[in-house]
Amino acid sequence: MLGVFLVAGTWQWQRGLEKDAMLAAQARTIQEREPVALATAREHPERLEWAAGTGRFPDVAPVYLDNQRNDGRQGVRVYRVFEVDDADATQLLVELGWLPLPADRGLPVLPDLAPGEHPVRGLLMPPPSAGLSLGEALQRQPDGSLLALRVVPAEIAAALGLSVDLAPRVLRLDPALDIGFERDLDVLANTLPPEKHRGYAVQWFGLAAATLVITLVLSFRRRRQ
């Protein structure tokens, strides 16, 4: 029991440090805003970078990430496949923003995107944290769209029948762009902040300390008897 509590506490503490580093990288990236090419989405899967480029949204069904809260409201984040104007025709998922769900959980009807070339920019980053990977990641809807419990680019590419793999990173569009829906650049949306992880770590370490004290007290009493 002592070992389990120590491992759990150490893991939670480490997660807090990782998220601290992610928030620091986000602040630095947004402040500097030195754009890299969108084609680099295939490289450095864990890196946060400001990216910009041009391309088009092919006629591919959208992806809705389920269980996304915004100001206490339940909704989905909308992703569309974006094909970059480069020699390799790089494709990646672009987050267009958040939309609320009605009481019957009917998926929203999206307006058509303007055809042709689109300039885009935003935060190039790993997909949202998936948490525990339980159950099927994707559910195909009657209109051909995908309802996702987690964003796994390789699985989404296969489900959409794409001829090329999607980049491992996704693009969160700059909220200033006149495209898409309500959105921000919060890299920890719908996940625990660092201070929560540290709080859980303290609890696990407290349980470890309590286990150690109880074990010593019981052992001492047994020896006396």
Cβ atoms of 19 and 2 closer than 8 Å: no
Digit-coded pLDDT (tens) for 120-148: 999 999 998 765 556 678 889 988 899 99
Other Cβ atoms within 10 Å of 161 Cβ, number: 8
In the chain, % helix, strand, coil (3-state, to 5) comes to 35, 25, 40
Element (H, E) at 53: strand 49-56
Region of residue 113 (phi > 0: left; psi between -120 and 50: alpha; otherwise: beta)? beta
State the Cα–Cα distance between residues 37 and 157, nearest whole angstrom. 21
Contact 79/96 with Cβ under 8 angstroms? yes
- Please report the pLDDT score of residue 17 as a whole number: 87
Segment 84-124, tens digit of pLDDT = 988 677 899 999 999 998 888 888 888 888 888 999 999 99
Q: What are phi and psi of 139, to 5 degrees?
A: -130, 120
Longest dimension (CA), the chain: 85
Instruction: State how far the Cα of 85 lies from the Cα of 39, in Å rounded to an integer.
Output: 9
pLDDT tens, residue by residue, 155-194: 999 999 998 889 999 999 999 998 889 888 877 776 778 8
Structure confidence at residue 131 (pLDDT): 58
| The token pair that represents 206 in the structure block | 């407290």
Whether 66 and 148 have beta carbons less than 8 Å apart is answered as yes
> For residues 104, 185, 49 and 82, what is the CA-based torsion angle, rounded to 10 degrees?
40
Instruction: Give yes or no for a contact between 122 and 60, defined as CB atoms under 8 angstroms apart.
Output: no
This prediction's pTM: 0.77
User: In whole numbers, what is the pLDDT of the chain averaged over residues?
Assistant: 87
